Structure 1
Amino acid sequence: MSQSPRFRYEEVADFVAGLAGRGALRPGMRAPSLREISTQQRTSLSTAVQAYRLLEDRGILEVRPQSGYYVAKAPPALPVPTTTRHSIRPAKVELSGLMLDLLEHASDDTLVPLGCAIPNQRLLSSSKLDLVLARTARVKGGQSNTYSPPRGEMSLRLEIARRALRYGQALSPDDIAITCGCTEALALALDAVTEPGDTVAIESPTYFGLLQVLRAKRLKVVELPTDAVTGVDVDTLGDIVASGKVRACVLASSFSNPLGCTMPEDNKRAVLRLLAKHGVPLIEDDVYGDVHFGEERPLPFSALDTHDNVIYCGSFSKTLAPGYRIGWVATGRHMARVLETKFATSLATPVLTQVALATFLSNGDYDRHLRRIRREFADTLERMTRVIEQAFPPGTKVSRPEGNFVLWVELPEPADTRLLFAQALEKGICFAPGVVFSASGKYAHCLRLSGGHGWAPGSRRACARSAPWRARRSRGALQVRDSRLGQRIQSRCTMPASGKQPPVLQSQTVSRPSAGDSQRSTPWTPLRLTHLTRFLRPFPSRFLPSTRCCCTSCTSPRSAATANRWSLPWRWPSRPASAVPSVGAKSLPPWARPMTAVRGGCC
């Protein structure tokens, strides 16, 4: 039976689909324009339009207004994490000792930065903000060397109120109090509505900094089951609130940490009605609200509230200036209590950083900065998810946030990320174990990975080839085949004794396990770090541990082989020879001018 003749637009559509299938057009890339494809395929423009519409119906291409056609991103192959049920009985906060270890290693730049959710300095507009800060110190330095008003600088509160109007939050500058980060804002809000011994309803898993605050305030908690997509279970919250045991509720309105979930607007309204009915105040954590990947920012609870029952907490730590430690709390009827507590704890927030940040917000630089980091974080999480699909064991589940820059990964039980964390630190890797996000020590088989470091050009290498592998249960740990993989991990994360630099991984394709692999008698080697190090292979080499230094008096015989980037000759015009520091000094005067780099010595 002869086949029906194919239309010309179908042939064009198959040609473009083949480019996407072979990897010539990767997900997120811009497809050839209609005029380009019609010229290349020697067809009419209307035929090209029909072909692209067919590809759009198939889900291969997507159209972006005023931009063109792009290759659609394929949905992740891994499922989302499951919702864990908890006891609704109030309990004390039991913190894991790993939390302090995690915070201690957060600022260690020798570790692969997958632990704390801190944006990388490369992604922040630090240079522009530094110029604004320097100009503010030069012009208004004397005026800024004093205590700020109790609520904070008026200029910054005015800018925050103006930005809040964009997403339906009608705030007055008098409704805002500047704090030392969002953590202090949460602490002040809890002090305003609770007393020691009260019970607070929280998400689970939740931000471990909130757990620290709750324990310091001697508050009990009820962990609410939280879906990785829609957020808190409203029915369970209603049962708990109706019991009369809860004095306050702390929820993240958008892109929670670590799940990355966002409650639908209908659910938010239901939560507000429920809490207002029983007189339970809501403390809203919206620190990730500006890091949204969609066209519009999700509305916070405070923009939907009609009962003045929400205490809003925000910060610039996740978007602009983590080191400035500037956040804010917005409330109406609880402001007097908030100011009393702030006066007794921190008294005031530094003035100079407030004025500089207000200036930065007013000139439009912040909006341009947000658009850039949103694209960067969205691309980073997309790439991280793809690598997790290839490198992590079968049965792994990963979150799909529409904002922020963290991923919640659920490993197949009985994996224990506490043991994995200790081994990872020895290899120069830092991530956040799941137990630190629970008040009762749950989620031992989960972990959180931060994408705040971004994805540099060096990260675009494909995963290196690995031998066929599979996971099984043995002594409560994941056992992975292929002992040669352990040798590659060792050479990746350590410096050879000869002093040579670690080899750069070349781009290779990933081989999938064949059907006969399970029948082979390959020895089993317990490698708890196997899947994590497979995940790390595409990351830039600058995140890997290094033993290079910049001393100026090195006599090591391997110095020539480990020359670093600071070993440069420099020219000091109009300076005597005695004023020229030794080669290799990091601190260089502003009048120094670099010349051609040469190999130098360091240990």
Structure 2
Amino acid sequence: MYRYEQLAALIITMIDNGALAPGARLPSVRTLSDQHGVSISTALQTCRMLEDREVIVARPRSGFYVAPKPRKVLALPSASRPRARASAVSISGAVAALLEHSSNPAFLPFGCAVPDGALLESKRLDLSLARAARQHGARYNVYGTPLGDPALRGEIAKRAMRVGHMLSPDEVVITSGCTEALTLALTSVAKPGDTIAVESPTYMGLLHTLEMLGLKAVELPTDPIRGIDVAAVARLLETERVAAFAIASSFNNPLGSMMAETDKRALLEVLGRYAIPFIEDDVYGDLYFGRERPKPFIALDGGANTIYCSSFSKSLAPGYRVGWIAADRRTRQVIERKLAFSLCGAVLPQVAIAEFLARGGYDAHLRRVRQLLQGTLARMADAVEASFPAETKMSRPAGGFVLWLELPKRFDSRALFDKALDQGICFAPGDVFSASRRFRNCLRLSAGHGWNERIEDGVRRLGQLAVALLAA
């Protein structure tokens, strides 16, 4: 055996006998080198080999960790095959009812994909806000500019360079969360009656916005791992007139799927042929579980035909409601609509986030949050596999913090929703993720509140209810 193979065998033995438990951090590459008398390159080769075998996992800027125990893996949800036909959207009543229950702290929080403030632990950010209010409260208790705080726009532009997108602060418009950003983008490229292409399933908030704007939706075939079927998009555009595409940059909500960079480029090439505007929602982009942050579409086409929307609501401060939009040549149209819809955003939260980013705390914060969310998703997946019907299919998200479950066609997630509410459990029924109210046999669970006995018990009881309904 080569030296790196000998070291790998030793580490595997330590894992098998419990000396290194699942989730435990391995000694650093330098420490392995010193302890076992091998070169740093040999120690690194050992770790890379174990990573390839899925014995350990790498966490950016943190090191190598023992992989979770292998478990019985449920099958993936089916790839969607919606009819290539535009339809009106009518989900507002269902979404409003869901949001009402999800905001009730008496219910277990599986409904809305909003991270728990306790999980985020944004104390440093809150201190920045308190300091700004104490020292310059009168200065910030004013109407800001429609573009938003200059310092914050500058920090956002700096971060864009990390993913290969050269963005000017003057191209950034601060919004009230990503919802306003999407609204500004849609009204800049479409008018009532137009058709917007979306993923299937897709984010219910996007569908609700389409409905309120009087826009139709055409649902695109979507794979639970690879995302949109680019070949199907090309066929659709041969016959259907589409005003714009609106999809997730990296991690579809609710599937957690991620398009490969080659597929992203292929999609942009198809849309470029027809000069169709592209709107991307990148709220989950920083919550990736791989080695590198996936590139958004705007970094691949330079913003030529892409409108970029994002926010800090999923990764840092949901209550601050700070998002942004980068629309390149449509910036003037976006600003005009911003003036009409909300005039400007609240100044103080923008100032606080700008200071937090400038002090360099965001990346360390993200590393910790990604680790927590990935661990919570893994434990929720274990609980689903142990409690839900054996026929259940489950997504394998590459980022974010939601799970998508698919049960047999005869299953009714609406009936499960009613019974779950009686037991103090709220989740998102599958039909709110489709303009045509498909996916009634599916449901989405949010894992944004960390993991504890109460959460685990809630998943178990929900699974028992699903088993009873399926057997009835």
TM over 0.5: yes
| Count of aligned pairs between the two proteins | 465
**Partner in structure 2 of residue 272 of structure 1:** 268
**Counterparts of 1:366 and 1:344, CA distance in 2:** 32
Of residues 52, 66, 72, the one that matches 1:71 is 66
SS class of match (1:123): helix
Q: Percent identity?
A: 50
Give me the whole-angstrom Cα distance separating, in 2, the residues matched to 1:217 and 1:395: 39
Residue 107 of structure 2: aligned partner: 111
**Which shows bigger deviation, 121-130 or 341-350?**
121-130
**1:61–1:147: structure 2 CA closer, same or farther, 3 Å change rule?**
same
Partner of 2:393: 397
Give 2:205's aligned residue.
209
Q: Provide the C-alpha distance between the structure 1 equivalents of 2:28 and 2:363, rounded to a whole number of angstroms.
A: 29
Aligned pairs for 1:417-566 within 5 A: 417-456=413-452, 458=453, 477-479=469-471
Change (3 A) 1:308 1:110: same
Match of 1:234 among 223, 230, 233: 230
State the one-letter code of the partner of 2:22: P
How far apart in 2 are the matches of 1:292 and 1:308? 25
1:414 to 410, 415, 418: 410
What is residue 24 of structure 2 aligned with on the other side? 29
Query: For the residues of structure 1 that align with 2:278 and 2:123, how far apart are their CA atoms?
Result: 37
Return the offset for 1:81: 0.8
| Secondary structure at the counterpart of residue 120 of structure 2 | coil
Is the CA contact 1:35–1:45 (under 8 Å) kept in the aligned structure 2? no
Contact 1:85 1:225 in 2 (8 A): yes
Q: Which moved more, 1:200-209 or 1:306-315?
A: 306-315
Which of these residues, 293, 296, 304, is aligned with residue 292 of structure 2? 296
Query: Where in structure 1 are there 5+ consecutive unaligned residues?
Result: 1-5, 38-43, 480-525, 527-603
In structure 1, give the amino acid aligned to 2:348.
L
Whether 1:170 and 2:185 are equivalent positions in the alignment is: no
- Report if the CA contact (8 A) 2:176-2:322 is conserved: yes
Q: Does 1:219 align with 2:215?
A: yes
In structure 2, the partner of 1:62 is 56
1:362 aligns with 2:374: no
Q: CA deviation at 1:26?
A: 3.9
The normalised TM-score by structure 2 is: 0.88
Q: Which runs of 5+ in 2 are unaligned?
A: none
What TM-score comes out, normalization by structure 1 length? 0.70
Quote the offset at 1:462 in angstroms: 10
Partner of 1:197: 193
* Partner Cα distance (1:174, 1:464) in 2: 46
> 3-state DSSP class of the match of 1:167?
coil
Q: What does residue 90 of structure 1 align with? A: 86
Determine the C-alpha separation between the residues in 2 that align with 1:159 and 1:21: 46
Could you tell me how far apart the structure 1 residues matched to 2:51 and 2:172 are? 48
Q: Of the candidates 119, 125, 147, which is equivalent to residue 123 of structure 1? A: 119
Q: Secondary structure at the match of 1:246?
A: coil
1:329 equivalent among 325, 330, 339: 325
Question: Could you tell me which amino acid in structure 2 is paired with residue 255 of structure 1?
Answer: F
Matched letter for residue 320 of structure 1: L
Instruction: Assess if the C-alpha contact under 8 Å between 1:62 and 1:69 holds in 2.
Output: yes
Structure with more of its chain in helix, by fraction: 2
Corresponding position of 1:143: 139
Shift of 1:82: 0.7
Q: Cα–Cα, structure 1 residues 108 and 470, in superposed 2: closer, same or farther, change >3 Å? A: closer
Give runs of aligned pairs for residues 313-352 of structure 1, distance below 5 A.
313-352=309-348
The structure whose Rg is larger is 1
- Judge conservation of contact 1:96–1:441 (CA < 8 Å) in 2: no
